[in-house]
Amino acid sequence: MKNEQEKSNNRLYIGIVIVALAFCAAYFLRSCGNIYDNGAGIDNVRGGIKQSVQSNRELQDGIGNATETVDRLADVLDRSETTVDAAKGTAESLDRNLETAADAITKCQRIVDRIKQRNEERTPEP
């Protein structure tokens, strides 16, 4: 439950960052359309902005891949916890079975000892 809430919060934050970056990129792209080349290196600025937009897209793809990886790791962790719980249950069951077997062996030994004792009492000594 806690992991699911953390995943939900992380996805919300990632979504907010992606939306903010998209708005920034759209703002810069829109404002660049009205800039005229006055010989002050506007082409370099445009190239830098285009490169920033491309980097932003790559970053968003990377964030998406990271989110998928986190989800897969969370699933593996959940399965591991389930397996550990099952192993604990099996260990507890084995402990109970061992205790039951030990009690049964003790009772059997007492019965055998009583039988031996009765046989010794019935058997006359020569």
Share of the chain above pLDDT 70, in %: 85
Give 20-69 pLDDT, tens digit per residue.
888 888 877 776 655 555 555 677 777 888 888 888 888 888 888 888 88
Alpha-helical (H) ranges within 33-122 are 42-122
Q: Is the pTM of this model over 0.85?
A: no
pLDDT of residue 26: 80
CA separation, residue 39 to residues 18, 32, 35, 117 (Å): 34, 15, 11, 117
